[in-house]
Structure 1
């Protein structure tokens, strides 16, 4: 026992003397990562001085750590109090209870509209019923045209460039449009079967998506095998395929898919609700793509719905890694800053360069990091983090070890709890983290860790990264 205690004391002493560069080298040289591409950069948040690194100038796929860039730009350009506006507007004169024309729901890009997951926001039913009340309060009992979902605010390129086909039909591959609803996702309920290899049938979707058809190629996997189901489909199409497996069982199993055409679903939901409330709607639901957008400055506004402030949207973007919100932020910044013909992501590059952040080796395809063709050096991320070190409200949106977001249950009970801020990033073959470290000695560091082209399970890779994040708190500088 005495010999063991001496060995532990020696080990702790050596560990305490380990320098930051040694810690980084040990991580990068790990035997299980020998076939992977690694990049690490650690800097002093105040001076920007590099304190340790490994291949900091090698461009790596960042996955969702890229949301830190998009959200930082949005907070700076748009402001923490920026809000998105959705309006209900008549497209014609109202005479003796008759609206002679269309009724428009004019989107302003709000990603929170009708969300069941954003705190303090009305869900779909509440939003639709609010619009119904607004129509009835105006005395309208008949609409000679259609209810039109006007999503022209952002256009039709809701999904990011290069998003994989396997992602588009799932909730995390839902693009953003001028008019969004329920985070552009639906819940697909499946009835579990007790025999492995059998097909679990589709039970329902919530909300109901008119015209959506599934080819079900799912299989029942072993008990406890988890959600291995994927929905394959593309925006504006209504024939989707379900593949993969869900575990055997006797209950309902739920997965989430992406709504094919959110503006059309808004029009469909409101049309049904109006008719149920006794308001006649003559024509079928439509969107701006079929009947045209509401001409600017026309019509009578019946209702206006404002989103929560941008700071709260940024919180959810980073704490829950919400792709839809990140893509919305990118498009709103683009509308504000871009000139005609500018690529969506050029506004991000322009902002970085204006801040003096080198963009060599940078390629951006989207705002969320879902595209596998995004890449940039770790040094770019740490330069951004140094630049934004004083942006206290934005920094609060980054998960904190042992406290919030994806790090809520990570590094609890260690020196890193409440000290390491880190946005995670995960796509196939990629695991990354970036953020801040408030060390016990009072110094603040910034860091970016990226592992690309790995074949490890999370249970193998995550402990290595978490140990490096913990060591950033104590290793010698």
Structure 2
């Protein structure tokens, strides 16, 4: 009897201690902790950066998926490696010679430099420089060299599906010679009422992409309804577009990931060369080999500075740009996403107080990434302490009140105006809602925070509408109390 009573007393004490421990952990994150009751796994921490004082914590050492919060690691590692003003260079090279009449005798090689934001506009500039060098005709091939990386093996369901069918732009495939973010762009404009719409390329005068146009033009003030997908067969990519567009509608741009970014570059660049008056005798080919060491440079164009690339990567959570930057961190040729992940893990391991991390991509599109809230806080603290890099790093984050992503415009005015953040979202295989960044207190002191929320197979779907207000309430209380 006494043993039974003792066991009951001990169990009661353990329950009480467990409750007290949870309450202590949830201090500062009382609202976020409500999601734990629904079965969600949570890791959260907020602290002041000057003193290191922890304002709130909830299982801060628990490693969870950060989704696109991973992009903060990519941005920090890129800044640490190259600095804000670094530019990626794309070149035309050849081992051939140019005769007095302007004919290049040999292949014209585009050497991809891994520029995450290389667009048709930069290619036009590159072609102009080629013409200035005296080249008017190429009697060999146009060769697209993706020797650094590409094609990169897909490691997620979305990217693997993109090889045969593209229904979005966020899962674009990777290549060091990719253009236009690895996606095709087409413009749909109304035709005459009752007739098919006009579909043109965003990049070339004559479209290089096959188009299956099933869009009708309807009367003015009608409803706009467009559906598009890129499909691939033995002949290459085709953009299938259906629906309707009113006669008074503005042109609508459609973006769909290509099945082969380097091949897309070849098609587009060949068309641009021909349209600029530079004839290419033998079409184009894609190569994974570097140009011969005897090749000479005919023209080169530098991309946008890294600080501008990071602004786009973080503000718009661009997976293609983030993973391309992560691939750029690797050394050697024909690297894969796992190699980029290892470089990010090495960078994280060198941050004071960070602890272990699993990073399988630079975008967070891979669900296997794992970090803790304490680790993310360590990253944020390290970047805050770096006076030369911090302004560029924080500039890529969103202030909710005026950020480009409208879904973050929730919570109190204090939260809206005093927080700079990066979000992360995954819906498969489980729900992930992650958020991290900086805040300024009423007194102007800087703080950092990270909240990682992961679901399980048995938890309900969690929207930002449900989760963000809870995070905002907790951070608002911390900001106002300091």
Could you say which TM-score interval applies, normalised by the shorter chain?
0.7 to 0.9
If the length of structure 1 is used for normalisation, what is the TM-score?
A: 0.77
Aligned pair 1:274/2:279, yes or no? no
C-alpha change, 1:128 and 1:227, in structure 2 (3 Å) is same
**Among 456, 459, 472, which residue is 2:462 paired with?**
456
Output aligned runs, 1:56-71, within 5 Å.
56-71=60-75
Structure 1 residue 310, shift from structure 2 partner? 1.3
Provide the secondary structure at the position in 2 that maps to 1:416.
helix
375 and 264 in structure 1: CA distance in 2 versus 1, 3 angstrom threshold = same
- The equivalent position to 2:42 in structure 1, one of 38, 50, 68, is 38
In structure 1, distance between residues paired with 2:245 and 2:97: 57
Counterpart of 1:325 in structure 2 is 321
Q: Which runs of 5+ in 1 are unaligned?
A: 1-18, 115-123, 193-199, 217-223
Aligned to 1:153: 148
Report the 3-state secondary structure (helix = DSSP H, G, I; strand = E; otherwise coil) of the residue aligned with 2:339. Answer: coil
Query: In the TM superposition, what is the alpha-carbon distance from 1:76 to its structure 2 partner?
Result: 1.0
The structure-2 alpha-carbon separation of the partners of 1:439 and 1:408, relative to structure 1 and needing over 3 Å to count, comes to farther
What TM-score, normalized by structure 2, do the two folds share?
A: 0.76
Residues 108, 426 of structure 1: CA spacing in aligned structure 2 closer, same or farther, 3 A cutoff? same
Q: Distance in 2 between matches of 1:81 and 1:60?
A: 33
- Report deviation, 1:253: 5.8
Q: Counterparts in 2 of 1:25-174, with a 5 A limit?
A: 25-30=30-35, 34-97=38-101, 98-114=103-119, 124=120, 126-157=121-152, 165=160, 169=166, 170-174=168-172
Over 3 Å counting, the alpha-carbon distance change for 1:54 and 1:106 in structure 2 is same
Tell me which residue corresponds to 1:258: 257
The answer to whether residue 431 in structure 2 is matched with residue 419 in structure 1 is no
Residue 263 of structure 1, CA deviation: 2.8
Structure 2 distance, partners of 1:330, 1:157, is: 12
What is residue 401 of structure 1 aligned with on the other side?
Answer: 400
CA distance in 2, matches of 1:227, 1:41: 44
> Aligned residue for 1:5?
none
Higher mean C-alpha displacement, 179-188 vs 403-412: 403-412
CA contact (8 A) 2:408 2:468 kept: no
Corresponding pairs, count: 430
Structure-2 change in CA distance of 1:265 and 1:343 (3 Å) = closer
- CA deviations on 1:302-351 (whole Å, 9 max, x unpaired) are 22111222122112211221112211221222239x99998321122222
1:467 paired with 2:476, answer no
Q: After TM superposition, give the deviation of residue 82 of structure 1 in Å.
A: 1.5
Alpha-carbon distance in 2 for matches of 1:321, 1:157:
20
Indicate the SS of the match to 1:64.
helix
**In the TM superposition, what is the alpha-carbon distance from 1:249 to its structure 2 partner?**
7.2
**Worse overlay, 104-113 or 43-52:** 43-52
Q: Is the 8 A contact 2:237 2:259 kept in 1?
A: no
Q: Which runs of 5+ in 2 are unaligned?
A: 1-23, 191-195, 215-221
Alignment correspondent of 1:119: none
What CA deviation, in whole Å up to 9, does each residue of 1:356-402 have, x standing for no partner?
A: 34433x32110011112212211111111122222322122221232
